Amino acid sequence: MSNNIEDHIVICNWHTNGERIVAELHSEQAAPNIKITIITTAEIDEFSLRERPEYQNVYFVRSDPTLHKVLERAGVLHARSVIILSDPDCPDPDAKAALISLAITKCDHNISYKPRIIAEVMNPDKVQHLQDAGVDEWVCSAGFGLGIIAQTALYGKLSEVYQQLLSYSSDTNEIYLLDSLKYPEWFLGKKFHEIAAILNQRRNITNPVILIGIKRGDEVMLNPSENEFDRLIAEDGLIVIAFDPPDLRTNLPIDITLLNNCNYVDISPIRRFIDG
């Protein structure tokens, strides 16, 4: 593993579900070339794993992820994200996850950047402790599973919907978050239903995109009402469903007929050019 590794994914701890995470991250629809570093004291059959194509660009650090020097060796300060899996061999895996997160945030006070930390939680009552330790997002697999079971009991086949959305595949849709670099500037100032209508009217044949929500700061608004969301601003992200990661700047060139309601773009020079 290069000492200059950066913009990679670090996985702390390991259990069998980690294999699914690596496979999803390295699928063609996700980030097939991203480097992944796994830090764990667990016994891993590394040679068998390396026979699989998804374990190219995967590095193993056989050590304790709670130690500062180990985290620094894995380049955690320059990582894009850190995934902390629950340690099945630890009597209190959530406490260990909090300790790892705290170690990451305290690695180097001279670096303002901190990778995004996502933790697998066993006990939802421990979430506040994890957030206090620097965890940005948490996932309780048991809680999600129970929610899906309850909804499927009321509305059949919903489990298949979740399964498709949570699996990277060329045959399934996934959820993507598009920042302002991935959608055209003339979207700014438009309402949610206006953007949704544009994407529907100009539906891409090979990679159709459906708008399902907005991310503003740390707030996620799914299918927002007009009381909840007014107009799109530059700091907003679009939450969409698509087969592949879309770039709406290239898929949606400027259409004069759709600029009329945009408050951020002066279209008069364009109109004068078209009118001759």
Stretch among 6-10, 148-152, 205-209 having the lowest mean pLDDT: 148-152
Are residue 91 and residue 181 in the same domain, yes or no? no
Residue 153: inside a domain: no
Residue 269: inside a domain: yes
Give the model's confidence band at 108: pLDDT under 50 very low, under 70 low, under 90 confident, else very high. low
| pLDDT of 48 | 87
| pLDDT of 266 | 46
Are residue 214 and residue 129 in the same domain, yes or no? no
| pLDDT of 77 | 87
Contacts of 40 (CB under 8 A, 6+ apart): 11, 12, 13, 14, 60, 61, 62, 65
* Residue 8 or 153, more confident: 8
Q: Is the pLDDT of residue 157 over 90?
A: no
Are residue 97 and residue 178 in the same domain, yes or no? no
Q: Is the pLDDT of residue 273 over 50?
A: no
* Residue 267 or 150, more confident: 150
Stretch among 53-67, 106-120, 130-144 having the lowest mean pLDDT: 106-120
Q: Is the pLDDT of residue 256 over 50?
A: no
Are residue 122 and residue 235 in the same domain, yes or no? no
Q: What percent of the chain has pLDDT over 90?
A: 57
Residue 238: inside a domain: yes
Give the model's confidence band at 107: pLDDT under 50 very low, under 70 low, under 90 confident, else very high. confident
Pair 59, 275: CB distance under 8 Å: no
Are residue 20 and residue 126 in the same domain, yes or no? yes
| pLDDT of 269 | 46
| pLDDT of 235 | 95
Residue 259: inside a domain: yes
Are residue 94 and residue 206 in the same domain, yes or no? no
Are residue 183 and residue 135 in the same domain, yes or no? no
As a whole number, mean pLDDT of residues 215-232 equals: 94
As a whole number, mean pLDDT of residues 214-242 equals: 95
| pLDDT of 64 | 96
Q: Which of 139, 154, 187 is the last residue of a domain?
A: 139
As a whole number, mean pLDDT of residues 87-107 equals: 92
Tokens at residue 192, please?
A: 């949610």
| pLDDT of 232 | 97
* Residue 214 or 271, more confident: 214
As a whole number, mean pLDDT of residues 252-266 equals: 49
Residue 244: inside a domain: yes
Overall domain count for the chain: 2
As a whole number, mean pLDDT of residues 163-168 equals: 85
Residue 191: inside a domain: yes
Pair 165, 174: CB distance under 8 Å: yes
Residue 148: inside a domain: no
Distance of alpha carbon 215 from alpha carbon 144, whole angstroms: 21
* Residue 250 or 188, more confident: 188
| pLDDT of 4 | 73
pLDDT in tens, 174-218: 999 999 999 999 999 999 999 999 999 999 889 999 999 999 998
Residue 168: inside a domain: no
Are residue 92 and residue 188 in the same domain, yes or no? no
Look up the domain containing 25 and give its range: 9-139
Give the model's confidence band at 106: pLDDT under 50 very low, under 70 low, under 90 confident, else very high. confident
